[in-house]
Structure 1
Protein backbone atom coordinates (compact mmCIF):
# COMPACT_ATOMS: atom_id res chain seq x y z
CA UNK A 1 0.00 0.00 0.00
CA UNK A 2 1.11 3.49 -0.65
CA UNK A 3 0.87 6.43 1.70
CA UNK A 4 -0.24 8.87 -0.96
CA UNK A 5 -3.99 9.01 -1.66
CA UNK A 6 -5.35 8.14 -5.07
CA UNK A 7 -6.55 11.00 -7.18
CA UNK A 8 -9.65 9.22 -8.44
CA UNK A 9 -12.18 6.85 -6.95
CA UNK A 10 -13.92 4.37 -9.17
CA UNK A 11 -17.20 2.63 -8.46
CA UNK A 12 -18.46 -0.07 -10.77
CA UNK A 13 -21.76 -1.93 -10.77
CA UNK A 14 -21.69 -5.65 -10.36
CA UNK A 15 -22.48 -7.54 -13.51
CA UNK A 16 -25.66 -9.56 -13.77
CA UNK A 17 -27.87 -7.68 -11.35
CA UNK A 18 -30.78 -8.21 -13.69
CA UNK A 19 -31.94 -4.63 -13.73
CA UNK A 20 -31.65 -2.64 -16.91
CA UNK A 21 -29.34 0.32 -16.52
CA UNK A 22 -29.18 3.39 -18.62
CA UNK A 23 -25.60 4.02 -17.74
CA UNK A 24 -22.81 1.82 -18.66
CA UNK A 25 -19.26 1.83 -17.59
CA UNK A 26 -17.63 3.31 -14.57
CA UNK A 27 -18.49 6.35 -12.59
CA UNK A 28 -15.50 8.49 -11.74
CA UNK A 29 -15.50 10.88 -8.81
CA UNK A 30 -12.62 13.27 -8.61
CA UNK A 31 -11.33 14.58 -5.31
CA UNK A 32 -11.70 18.17 -6.55
CA UNK A 33 -15.44 17.60 -7.18
CA UNK A 34 -16.21 16.40 -3.62
CA UNK A 35 -18.17 18.90 -1.54
CA UNK A 36 -16.24 20.47 1.29
CA UNK A 37 -18.11 19.40 4.40
CA UNK A 38 -16.23 21.28 7.07
CA UNK A 39 -13.46 23.72 6.70
CA UNK A 40 -11.31 24.52 9.69
CA UNK A 41 -10.68 28.25 9.92
CA UNK A 42 -7.11 29.32 9.91
CA UNK A 43 -5.86 30.38 13.34
CA UNK A 44 -5.83 34.10 13.93
CA UNK A 45 -2.40 35.60 14.18
CA UNK A 46 -1.51 36.74 17.68
CA UNK A 47 -1.18 40.47 18.03
CA UNK A 48 2.27 41.67 18.70
CA UNK A 49 2.67 42.81 22.26
CA UNK A 50 4.21 46.11 23.09
CA UNK A 51 6.95 45.25 25.54
CA UNK A 52 7.39 48.81 26.69
CA UNK A 53 4.21 48.81 28.82
CA UNK A 54 4.15 46.53 31.86
CA UNK A 55 1.21 44.15 32.07
CA UNK A 56 -1.42 45.15 34.62
CA UNK A 57 -2.25 42.60 37.32
CA UNK A 58 -5.76 41.16 37.13
CA UNK A 59 -8.37 42.84 39.27
CA UNK A 60 -9.45 41.10 42.41
CA UNK A 61 -13.21 40.80 42.80
CA UNK A 62 -14.74 43.00 45.43
CA UNK A 63 -15.35 41.12 48.67
CA UNK A 64 -18.97 40.12 49.05
CA UNK A 65 -20.87 41.28 52.07
CA UNK A 66 -22.05 38.42 54.19
CA UNK A 67 -25.79 38.26 54.08
CA UNK A 68 -27.55 36.83 57.11
CA UNK A 69 -30.65 34.83 56.14
CA UNK A 70 -33.92 36.28 57.43
CA UNK A 71 -34.68 33.05 59.31
CA UNK A 72 -31.47 33.51 61.35
CA UNK A 73 -32.47 37.07 62.22
CA UNK A 74 -35.92 35.94 63.32
CA UNK A 75 -34.37 33.08 65.31
CA UNK A 76 -32.16 35.57 67.20
CA UNK A 77 -35.16 37.78 67.93
CA UNK A 78 -37.16 34.82 69.20
CA UNK A 79 -34.23 33.64 71.32
CA UNK A 80 -33.93 37.11 72.85
CA UNK A 81 -37.64 37.06 73.64
CA UNK A 82 -37.37 33.59 75.21
CA UNK A 83 -34.47 34.75 77.40
CA UNK A 84 -37.11 36.53 79.49
CA UNK A 85 -38.00 33.09 80.90
CA UNK A 86 -35.60 31.97 83.65
CA UNK A 87 -35.90 28.32 82.54
CA UNK A 88 -34.65 29.28 79.09
CA UNK A 89 -32.03 31.75 80.30
CA UNK A 90 -30.39 29.32 82.77
CA UNK A 91 -30.51 26.34 80.37
CA UNK A 92 -32.66 24.21 82.64
CA UNK A 93 -34.08 20.99 81.12
CA UNK A 94 -37.18 21.78 79.11
CA UNK A 95 -40.38 19.73 79.25
CA UNK A 96 -41.21 17.39 76.40
CA UNK A 97 -43.55 19.28 74.05
CA UNK A 98 -42.33 22.75 75.02
CA UNK A 99 -42.43 23.61 71.33
CA UNK A 100 -46.22 23.90 71.59
CA UNK A 101 -45.78 26.51 74.35
CA UNK A 102 -43.39 28.43 72.11
CA UNK A 103 -45.87 28.29 69.20
CA UNK A 104 -48.58 29.59 71.51
CA UNK A 105 -46.29 32.42 72.65
CA UNK A 106 -45.50 33.34 69.04
CA UNK A 107 -49.21 33.37 68.19
CA UNK A 108 -50.25 35.40 71.23
CA UNK A 109 -47.60 38.08 70.72
CA UNK A 110 -48.05 38.18 66.93
CA UNK A 111 -44.35 37.59 66.47
CA UNK A 112 -43.91 38.45 62.79
CA UNK A 113 -41.98 35.95 60.72
CA UNK A 114 -41.57 33.28 63.40
CA UNK A 115 -42.45 30.24 61.34
CA UNK A 116 -42.30 26.59 62.31
CA UNK A 117 -38.76 26.36 60.91
CA UNK A 118 -37.61 29.34 62.98
CA UNK A 119 -39.01 27.81 66.18
CA UNK A 120 -37.35 24.49 65.40
CA UNK A 121 -34.05 26.24 64.67
CA UNK A 122 -34.16 28.09 68.01
CA UNK A 123 -35.02 24.90 69.91
CA UNK A 124 -32.22 22.99 68.20
CA UNK A 125 -29.67 25.71 69.00
CA UNK A 126 -30.81 25.82 72.62
CA UNK A 127 -30.97 22.07 73.23
CA UNK A 128 -27.59 21.41 71.59
CA UNK A 129 -25.85 23.97 73.77
CA UNK A 130 -23.23 22.55 76.13
CA UNK A 131 -24.82 24.04 79.26
CA UNK A 132 -28.19 22.51 78.37
CA UNK A 133 -26.64 19.09 77.73
CA UNK A 134 -24.79 19.31 81.04
CA UNK A 135 -28.08 20.06 82.80
CA UNK A 136 -29.57 16.93 81.18
CA UNK A 137 -26.56 14.86 82.33
CA UNK A 138 -27.08 16.09 85.90
CA UNK A 139 -30.65 14.77 85.75
CA UNK A 140 -33.58 16.03 87.75
CA UNK A 141 -36.91 17.39 86.59
CA UNK A 142 -37.98 19.06 83.38
CA UNK A 143 -39.65 22.46 83.34
CA UNK A 144 -42.20 24.28 81.21
CA UNK A 145 -41.46 27.83 80.08
CA UNK A 146 -43.41 29.30 83.00
CA UNK A 147 -41.24 27.37 85.50
CA UNK A 148 -43.67 24.63 86.50
CA UNK A 149 -42.26 21.12 86.79
CA UNK A 150 -43.25 18.62 84.11
CA UNK A 151 -41.74 15.12 84.25
CA UNK A 152 -38.26 13.77 84.93
CA UNK A 153 -35.18 13.06 82.84
CA UNK A 154 -34.80 9.33 82.22
CA UNK A 155 -31.43 7.49 82.11
CA UNK A 156 -31.62 7.01 78.33
CA UNK A 157 -31.80 10.78 77.79
CA UNK A 158 -28.91 11.28 80.20
CA UNK A 159 -26.81 8.75 78.27
CA UNK A 160 -27.56 10.51 74.96
CA UNK A 161 -26.37 13.79 76.46
CA UNK A 162 -23.19 12.13 77.81
CA UNK A 163 -22.45 10.64 74.37
CA UNK A 164 -22.99 13.98 72.63
CA UNK A 165 -20.67 15.78 75.04
CA UNK A 166 -18.04 13.03 74.66
CA UNK A 167 -18.12 13.32 70.86
CA UNK A 168 -17.63 17.06 71.07
CA UNK A 169 -14.74 16.68 73.49
CA UNK A 170 -13.11 14.08 71.20
CA UNK A 171 -13.47 16.40 68.21
CA UNK A 172 -11.80 19.24 70.12
CA UNK A 173 -8.78 17.15 71.12
CA UNK A 174 -8.29 15.68 67.63
Structure 2
Protein backbone atom coordinates (compact mmCIF):
# COMPACT_ATOMS: atom_id res chain seq x y z
CA UNK A 1 0.00 0.00 0.00
CA UNK A 2 2.86 2.37 0.76
CA UNK A 3 4.43 1.73 -2.66
CA UNK A 4 1.14 2.56 -4.38
CA UNK A 5 0.92 5.87 -2.44
CA UNK A 6 4.44 6.80 -3.49
CA UNK A 7 3.59 6.13 -7.12
CA UNK A 8 0.62 8.50 -6.95
CA UNK A 9 2.78 11.10 -5.24
CA UNK A 10 5.49 10.75 -7.91
CA UNK A 11 2.91 10.94 -10.70
CA UNK A 12 1.39 14.06 -9.13
CA UNK A 13 4.80 15.70 -8.78
CA UNK A 14 5.62 14.90 -12.41
CA UNK A 15 2.33 16.45 -13.53
CA UNK A 16 3.11 19.63 -11.60
CA UNK A 17 6.57 19.83 -13.19
CA UNK A 18 5.14 19.32 -16.70
CA UNK A 19 2.48 21.97 -16.08
CA UNK A 20 5.12 24.39 -14.81
CA UNK A 21 7.29 23.85 -17.87
CA UNK A 22 4.27 24.42 -20.12
CA UNK A 23 3.42 27.70 -18.37
CA UNK A 24 7.01 28.95 -18.74
CA UNK A 25 7.09 27.93 -22.42
CA UNK A 26 3.84 29.77 -23.15
CA UNK A 27 5.06 32.86 -21.29
CA UNK A 28 8.32 32.90 -23.24
CA UNK A 29 6.56 32.35 -26.56
CA UNK A 30 4.09 35.16 -25.90
CA UNK A 31 6.96 37.53 -25.15
CA UNK A 32 8.08 37.30 -28.75
CA UNK A 33 11.74 38.00 -29.13
CA UNK A 34 12.44 37.21 -32.73
CA UNK A 35 13.12 39.55 -35.59
CA UNK A 36 10.24 41.17 -37.45
CA UNK A 37 8.85 39.17 -40.37
CA UNK A 38 9.65 41.59 -43.19
CA UNK A 39 9.54 40.89 -46.93
CA UNK A 40 13.11 40.16 -48.14
CA UNK A 41 13.19 43.20 -50.47
CA UNK A 42 12.03 45.48 -47.64
CA UNK A 43 14.62 44.02 -45.26
CA UNK A 44 17.36 44.57 -47.88
CA UNK A 45 16.36 48.20 -48.52
CA UNK A 46 16.15 48.94 -44.78
CA UNK A 47 19.62 47.43 -44.34
CA UNK A 48 21.02 49.80 -46.97
CA UNK A 49 19.24 52.81 -45.45
CA UNK A 50 20.47 52.02 -41.94
CA UNK A 51 24.00 51.21 -43.13
CA UNK A 52 24.27 54.43 -45.12
CA UNK A 53 22.93 56.46 -42.19
CA UNK A 54 25.46 54.94 -39.78
CA UNK A 55 28.35 55.37 -42.21
CA UNK A 56 27.24 58.97 -42.67
CA UNK A 57 27.56 59.73 -38.96
CA UNK A 58 23.98 59.28 -37.71
CA UNK A 59 25.25 58.13 -34.30
CA UNK A 60 27.36 60.87 -32.70
CA UNK A 61 28.64 58.38 -30.11
CA UNK A 62 30.40 56.50 -32.92
CA UNK A 63 32.61 59.56 -33.60
CA UNK A 64 32.22 60.31 -37.31
CA UNK A 65 34.99 62.92 -37.01
CA UNK A 66 37.64 60.18 -36.69
CA UNK A 67 37.44 58.88 -40.26
CA UNK A 68 35.32 56.88 -42.64
CA UNK A 69 33.20 54.02 -41.41
CA UNK A 70 32.25 50.75 -43.06
CA UNK A 71 29.21 49.03 -41.55
CA UNK A 72 27.39 45.74 -41.93
CA UNK A 73 23.92 45.56 -40.43
CA UNK A 74 21.41 42.86 -39.56
CA UNK A 75 17.89 44.27 -39.60
CA UNK A 76 15.98 43.22 -36.50
CA UNK A 77 12.81 45.11 -37.28
CA UNK A 78 11.17 48.42 -38.03
CA UNK A 79 8.56 50.82 -36.75
CA UNK A 80 5.80 50.99 -37.42
CA UNK A 81 5.44 47.24 -37.02
CA UNK A 82 4.04 45.35 -40.00
CA UNK A 83 5.34 47.56 -42.81
CA UNK A 84 5.17 46.22 -46.36
CA UNK A 85 7.53 48.71 -48.03
CA UNK A 86 10.74 50.36 -46.88
CA UNK A 87 9.39 53.89 -47.36
CA UNK A 88 6.84 53.24 -44.58
CA UNK A 89 9.58 52.83 -41.96
CA UNK A 90 10.28 55.61 -39.49
CA UNK A 91 12.82 53.66 -37.43
CA UNK A 92 15.00 50.68 -38.33
CA UNK A 93 16.37 48.51 -35.51
CA UNK A 94 19.68 46.88 -36.40
CA UNK A 95 22.62 44.94 -35.07
CA UNK A 96 25.46 47.04 -36.51
CA UNK A 97 29.07 46.00 -36.95
CA UNK A 98 31.17 49.00 -37.96
CA UNK A 99 34.86 49.64 -38.52
CA UNK A 100 36.87 52.81 -38.92
CA UNK A 101 38.87 52.59 -42.11
CA UNK A 102 41.67 54.68 -43.59
CA UNK A 103 43.04 55.36 -40.12
CA UNK A 104 46.34 54.35 -38.53
CA UNK A 105 44.60 51.89 -36.26
CA UNK A 106 41.45 50.16 -37.49
CA UNK A 107 38.90 49.93 -34.70
CA UNK A 108 35.64 48.05 -34.80
CA UNK A 109 32.40 47.98 -32.86
CA UNK A 110 29.40 45.68 -32.72
CA UNK A 111 26.38 47.41 -31.24
CA UNK A 112 22.62 47.45 -31.62
CA UNK A 113 21.26 50.70 -33.02
CA UNK A 114 17.87 52.32 -33.51
CA UNK A 115 18.19 54.37 -36.71
CA UNK A 116 15.52 57.03 -37.10
CA UNK A 117 15.03 57.75 -40.79
CA UNK A 118 14.65 61.50 -40.38
CA UNK A 119 16.43 64.20 -42.38
CA UNK A 120 19.21 63.91 -41.36
CA UNK A 121 18.99 60.40 -39.91
CA UNK A 122 19.74 59.97 -36.22
CA UNK A 123 20.83 56.76 -34.50
CA UNK A 124 20.73 55.81 -30.86
CA UNK A 125 22.75 53.06 -29.21
CA UNK A 126 22.73 51.70 -25.65
CA UNK A 127 25.24 52.85 -23.08
CA UNK A 128 28.00 50.69 -21.65
CA UNK A 129 28.03 48.61 -18.48
CA UNK A 130 25.06 48.98 -16.18
CA UNK A 131 23.30 51.25 -18.70
CA UNK A 132 23.19 48.58 -21.42
CA UNK A 133 20.19 46.50 -20.28
CA UNK A 134 17.97 49.43 -19.28
CA UNK A 135 18.87 51.27 -22.50
CA UNK A 136 17.94 48.21 -24.61
CA UNK A 137 14.55 48.17 -22.87
CA UNK A 138 14.12 51.91 -23.51
CA UNK A 139 15.37 52.04 -27.12
CA UNK A 140 14.06 48.75 -28.58
CA UNK A 141 10.46 47.52 -28.69
CA UNK A 142 9.85 44.52 -26.44
CA UNK A 143 9.21 42.29 -29.45
CA UNK A 144 12.84 42.78 -30.60
CA UNK A 145 14.72 42.75 -27.30
CA UNK A 146 15.57 39.03 -27.33
CA UNK A 147 16.94 39.42 -30.87
CA UNK A 148 19.17 42.26 -29.63
CA UNK A 149 20.64 40.04 -26.92
CA UNK A 150 20.90 37.06 -29.32
CA UNK A 151 23.41 38.88 -31.52
CA UNK A 152 22.88 36.71 -34.59
CA UNK A 153 25.66 34.86 -36.40
CA UNK A 154 29.02 36.52 -35.64
CA UNK A 155 30.82 34.73 -38.49
CA UNK A 156 28.26 35.97 -41.01
CA UNK A 157 28.44 39.53 -39.66
CA UNK A 158 32.24 39.48 -39.70
CA UNK A 159 32.23 38.30 -43.33
CA UNK A 160 29.75 41.01 -44.30
CA UNK A 161 31.83 43.66 -42.52
CA UNK A 162 35.05 42.54 -44.28
CA UNK A 163 33.21 42.75 -47.64
CA UNK A 164 31.93 46.24 -46.82
CA UNK A 165 35.40 47.42 -45.74
CA UNK A 166 36.77 46.26 -49.10
CA UNK A 167 33.94 48.08 -50.94
CA UNK A 168 34.50 51.31 -49.03
CA UNK A 169 38.26 51.21 -49.61
CA UNK A 170 37.66 51.01 -53.37
CA UNK A 171 35.62 54.23 -53.33
> What is the TM-score when the length of structure 1 is the normalising length?
0.24
Larger fraction in helix: 2
Q: Considering only CA atoms, is the larger Rg found in Structure 1 or Structure 2?
A: 1
The structure in which a higher percent of residues are strand is 2
Q: TM-score, normalised by structure 2?
A: 0.24
